[in-house]
Amino acid sequence: MKRILIILFSVSGIATLAQTPIYLNPNAPVEDRVEDALQRMTLEEKVAMTHAQSKFSSSGVPRLGIPENWMSDGPHGVRAEVLWDEWYGANWTNDSCIVFPALTALAATWNPSLAELYGKSIGEEARYRNKNVLLGPGVNIYRTPLNGRNFEYMGEDPFLASAMVVPYVSGVQSNNVAACVKHFALNNQEKYRDYINVTVSERALHEIYLPAFKAAVQQGKAWAIMGSYNRYKQQHCSHNQYLLNDILKKEWNFDGVTVSDWGGVHDTKEAVNNGLDMEFGTWTNGMNFGKSNAYDEYFMAQPYLNLLKNKEASEEQLNDKVRRILRLIFRTNMSSERKYGSFGSPEHAATGRKIAEEGIVLLQNNNNILPIDIEKTKKILVVGENALKSMTVGGGSSSLKAKYEISPLEGIRLRAGDNAEIKYVAGYESPPAKEQDVKDAKEPQYKEIDAEALRNEATAAAQEADIVLFIGGLNKNSGQDCEGDDRISLDLPYEQDALISNLIKANPKTIVIIISGNAVAMPWVNQAPAIIEAWYNGTEAGNALASVLFGDVNPSGKLPFTFPVRLQDNGAHALGDYPGDGENETYKDDIFVGYRWLDKENINPLFAFGHGLSYTTFDYGKAKTDKTKMTAGEQITLSISVKNTGTREGAEVVQLYIHDKKSTLPRPVKELKGFKKILLKADEEQIVTFTIDKNALVYYDDGKGEWIVESGEFEAWIGSSSADIKYKTVFELY
């Protein structure tokens, strides 16, 4: 605006807005602004925009008043400021954010309107901090429960992940902050992530691994996407011809920017030619330990300029990249609609709490032991390191500096007040870990942990309590739920299984609360009266958990991924292809990921995809369809009544799966194709309606290279989880 005024008054006071350069006119169409700015730029200015100038920023065009791009992790909150060329904190005192629940928790709400609110709120935080790109959300499919980064993603099912990512992206971008959807694509494990070459069928790529990205781009209209570290078709995905040029830009008409993962670029020509627009994280302490402040040496800096000057790269190709970057700036920093944002607000904390409360999953609740009746429960014993451990720090790039974090123990204490005596014993301990986000953090000192003594102390205390709340699971240390590596086993670490078994023996009223972003084995499942999956829930984690435990909130979360009994019950592990040989990995499980594998092999899960209990009960009526036959151009309306048969209000997620009775290529037994979350008062009944069209019936034919729909009989299955199908109805496509 300042610049416009200068122009208006400098030309003898009679200049009109028409003389303002188009790119500075906030009311001009974005494409006109892009073209106008582009034709004013020098080759050097253009190249400068295509690579980082600091750890998280890239150049604008100072001469033209075009601002820099500033990016920040990540999917769960806005990362603390780091130094110009360091991963470590700049020690600002005004960058402590609200930490929202991890994306697994968001996915577990099965509530797209909460995804929109999440996106809107985190976008407001990013905007306030002057970031115009938020490095998230992540939508890589949950293929193995060992993947250290599953907590940052939205589960194993492409339909669910798509339904949740679209509103998240729109919510973020409603603040004129770009969502940068990551990690495109096939980054389904952390082990060997920097160079593993994934071989996967075209069919699995299209049916399982791409849909959430496609939805984010085409329906969510994402303005940025991040390429992944791994390779596909022998090319790194941050500069991959097939993924970035052929699919993303040509087939999906993506008009935003492609951003490399930090240190994901390996070659100038490949990067330039294979669809990369912006390079980040190279050379410095990213993947390649090397010089510092070497931004001019980035693959897309001086080496790119040299190629252009030698006519080995064309300016037209560079212009396409710069157009995309300018578009990003006009959509964000230079948009006339840009808002102010807000940061660390009570409203954002309340949003985080709401999402956490709706995402917590009640896995088991024998004899309605939960919720805790505070009138009858006077002595509560809390056991487990996760009752106290901070879960907002650690885990890699999603690590955050929280404004505050209510631990589970604190939440329980706050809720119980003076009504009960709350005692805490650790029961187990994890080895000390190197501090994240701290410059020159020291290697932790080795410390002997006497697991048996800790266990015995907790077991003795359990005998004295009215109820025991065990709060354990995984954590954000390396080798657990943490970027950079995978877990080594499905089992709970730190001898927690032995502790849980002992606690249950000592006190049968032991509630097991798992905090994790991944499935864990539960050898004690038949002894534990109640089990809760409580995720990484951020700032308000403890309050949200207490609300569910004490029944202020009726749980309504459903699992976004399967809990297998054993690792071998998962396709990638049963077939032995995970983690690959270090160089290559073939996804032999093909389209049979998650529940699709268990269905095919007839394996019972420990807890099924879509499972989650409530403190009330629901009855499903008979499903009705408006017709029993349809053509590919028609749709069928299916309705089913659902009644709350308990005594309190509760929400249920009604799930629609499609079963194809006969097909030319093998298909999963069933696939999620719809869901609705409904809130019902006690005794209330509602009709839930789904429309089924061709899109719910198609599959990808590798041979033909297209989505096809085959006529014949299908079944619509309505369930309360993927393993609890309440009603089936047949229809025909002719």
DSSP per position, 342-382? --S-HHHHHHHHHHHHHH-EEEEEGGG-PSP-TTT--EEEE
Nearer residue to ligand BGC within complex by CB, 74 or 610:
74
Rounded Cα gap, residues 385 and 693, in angstroms: 49
Residue pair 648/554 in contact by the 8 Å Cβ criterion: yes
Q: Which residue is nearest to ligand BGC (CB)?
A: 397
Nearest residue to 200 (alpha-carbon basis) of 601, 591, 567: 591
Q: 497 catalytic, yes or no?
A: no
Cβ 239 to ligand BGC shortest distance, Å:
16
Q: How far is the CB of 40 from ligand BGC (least distance, A)?
A: 31
540 is a site residue for ligand BGC (CB under 6 A): no
Find the DSSP H helices in 640-729: none
Shorter beta-carbon distance to ligand BGC: residue 283 or 618: 283
Residue of 261, 277, 486, 590 with catalytic role:
261
Strands 178-184 vs 724-733: parallel, antiparallel or unpaired: unpaired
User: Quick check: 482 binds ligand BGC (CB under 6 A)?
Assistant: no
Q: Which two tokens stand for residue 267?
A: 């070659």
Closest CA to 198 of 211, 207, 189, 210: 189
- Rounded to a whole number of angstroms, the minimum distance from the CB of residue 237 to ligand BGC is 11
Report, in Å, the least distance between residue 64 CB and ligand BGC: 28
Q: Is 72 helix (H, G, I), strand (E, B) or coil?
A: strand
Name the minimum Å distance from CB 397 to ligand BGC: 4
Q: What's the length of the chain?
A: 734
Nearer to ligand BGC, 182 or 558 (CB): 182
**Nearest distance from C-beta of residue 619 to ligand BGC, angstroms:** 44
> What does the DSSP 8-state code read for residue 64?
G
Q: Which of 705, 152, 207 is nearest to 399 (CA)?
A: 152
| Residue 182 in the binding site for ligand BGC (CB under 6 A) | yes
User: Which residue intervals of 75-111 are DSSP H helices?
Assistant: 103-109
Question: Which residue, among 566, 627, 636, 604, has the nearest Cα to 723 in the 3D structure?
Answer: 604
Among 53, 57, 60, 74, binds ligand BGC (CB under 6 A): 74
Residue 396 vs 557, nearer CB to ligand BGC: 396
Q: Given the structure tokens 């669809």, which residue do they identify?
A: 275
Residues 254-283 close enough to bind ligand BGC by CB under 6 A: 261-262
Interface with ligand BGC, residue 469, by CB under 6 A = no
Nearer to ligand BGC, 300 or 651 (CB): 300
Site membership for ligand BGC, residue 516 (CB under 6 A): no
CA atoms within 13 A on the CB side of 582: 0
Burial of residue 236 (CB within 10 Å: 0-12, 13-18, 19+) is buried
Nearer to ligand BGC, 268 or 282 (CB): 282
Closest C-alpha to 437, from 476, 405, 402, 394: 394
Tell me which of 45, 73, 357, 358 binds ligand BGC, using CB under 6 A. 73
Residue 430 per-residue DSSP state: P
CB of 149 to ligand BGC, least distance (A): 8
* Structural tokens at position 132: 């115009």
**Which residues within the stretch 301-320 sit at the binding site for ligand BGC (CB under 6 A)?**
none
**Count of residues touching ligand BGC (by CB under 6 A):** 7
DSSP string of 553-577? S------SS-B-SSGGGSHHHHTT-
Instruction: Identify the CA nearest to 511 among candidates 461, 471, 566.
Output: 471
Does 135 bind ligand BGC (CB under 6 A)? Our answer is yes
What residues from 397 to 416 belong to the interface with ligand BGC (CB under 6 A)? 397
Contact in structure between 551 and 370 (CB atoms under 8 Å): yes
Q: Is 96 in the site for ligand BGC (CB under 6 A)?
A: no
Nearer to ligand BGC, 397 or 644 (CB): 397
Least gap, CB of 191 to ligand BGC (angstroms):
14
393 part of the interface to ligand BGC, by CB under 6 A: no
Give the nearer residue to ligand BGC in terms of CB position, either 156 or 261: 261
Burial class (CB in 10 A: 0-12, 13-18, 19+), 22: middle
Q: Looking at the annotation, which residues are catalytic? A: 261
Which residues bind to ligand BGC, rule: CB under 6 A? 73-74, 135, 182, 261-262, 397
